[in-house]
Amino acid sequence: MIQLAVKNHNSSSERRQVQIVSVSEEEAGQRLDNFLLRQLNGVPKTRLYRAIRRGEVRVNKGRVRPDTRLEAGDAVRIPPVHETTTGPGAVGGDRWAQRIRHAIVLELPDLLVLNKPPGLAVHGGSGVKVGLIETLRAMYPEQRYLELVHRLDRDTSGLIMVARRASVLRELHAQLRSDRINKVYKALVWGRWPSHLKQVEAPLEKTSLASGERMVRVSAAGKPSLTRFRVLKRWRSATLIEAKPVTGRTHQIRVHAAHAGFPILGDDKYQTPQAQALAATLNLNRLYLHAAGLQFSLGEERYQLEAPDTDEMQAAMAALDNLTD
């Protein structure tokens, strides 16, 4: 494994002149906001979005939206930026960098696959200054392109793919849309999941509480969603299940499990009082959901990867083995 140093960015790297940056072939297909985050590493997202909104950032001399997809040869106007992230953001990235180095399970010229630790957001935002993608970009300062192929919730552990070329991102997205990538999760749920319950098909809709917290609910107005389930092991008060999401909706496995009457232990959004009590008994302090398996093709190769259970998962199952109701 090549050892890579983490590069810290501070006020000495501030941009003080307007730049016109040409989009390369490998950078084509990126969203504008992601492109700017790479170009202005260390600048808060709020500052970048404000610059786009005000028209300070332009593409081919025209005003654009943050989600504009860039094409090879586009000329991006980047204004002088005098706000940078210092202190907590950099420290957070340093703290995670060593764990991320050891979490790399597959390193190819065009792709990284990592066994993401629980507690690490995949990207910054919503109160999170540093996530997986920001830390990777600091670890690979010479890499002009690094983009998440898919996402995991902050407390979900396990396998996640990061593309190093735009063409690879497009190819893997096409495989995801056509169900050619097999993602397998493990979850520990409250109650005894019945063997005959092999799938949950229920439309899911995003919503927000009065507090602003994002939630997902089963609703006829939602998007079609399907998850397949299989029982791996049962205890008197809990079940270890395998979950395969056929569609890829936000919180899909979590909401479908709860909708079926078997919420995932440690899920602070969708758990019931009974599930909460059992999680406390087992000393589970996070969502017990793990991206355990991943199968995909790249070029002529077919990859089949597995991520072992985390220490917390093993401890919870050992506690269940010794638990008497």
Averaged pLDDT, 52-80? 91
| Band (82; pLDDT cuts 50, 70, 90) | low
CB-CB contact of 7 with 97 (8 Å): no
- Quote the pLDDT of residue 127: 59
- Quote the pLDDT of residue 86: 42
Q: What percent of the chain has pLDDT over 90?
A: 58
Q: Given a cut of 70, is residue 315 above it in pLDDT? A: yes
CB-CB contact of 7 with 142 (8 Å): no
Which residues belong to the active site? Answer: 153
Q: How many CA atoms lie within 13 A of 212 on its CB side?
A: 2
- Quote the pLDDT of residue 17: 82
Q: What is the pLDDT of residues 280-294, one digit of tens each?
A: 999 888 899 999 999
d(CA 76, CA 43): 17
Q: Given a cut of 70, is residue 268 above it in pLDDT? A: yes
| Band (14; pLDDT cuts 50, 70, 90) | very low
pTM: 0.75
* Strand ranges, E, within the chain: 19-22, 58-59, 75-78, 104-107, 111-116, 147-148, 157-163, 182-190, 199-201, 204-208, 214-218, 226-234, 238-245, 289-298, 301-306
Q: Which of 100, 77, 84 is nearest to 22 (CA)?
A: 77
Q: Given a cut of 70, is residue 277 above it in pLDDT? A: yes
| Band (68; pLDDT cuts 50, 70, 90) | very high
What residue ranges define each of the domains in the chain, with the CATH number in brackets?
A: 13-78 (3.10.290.10), 88-172 (3.30.2350.10), 181-321 (3.30.2350.10)
Q: Given a cut of 90, is residue 85 above it in pLDDT? A: no
d(CA 238, CA 235): 5
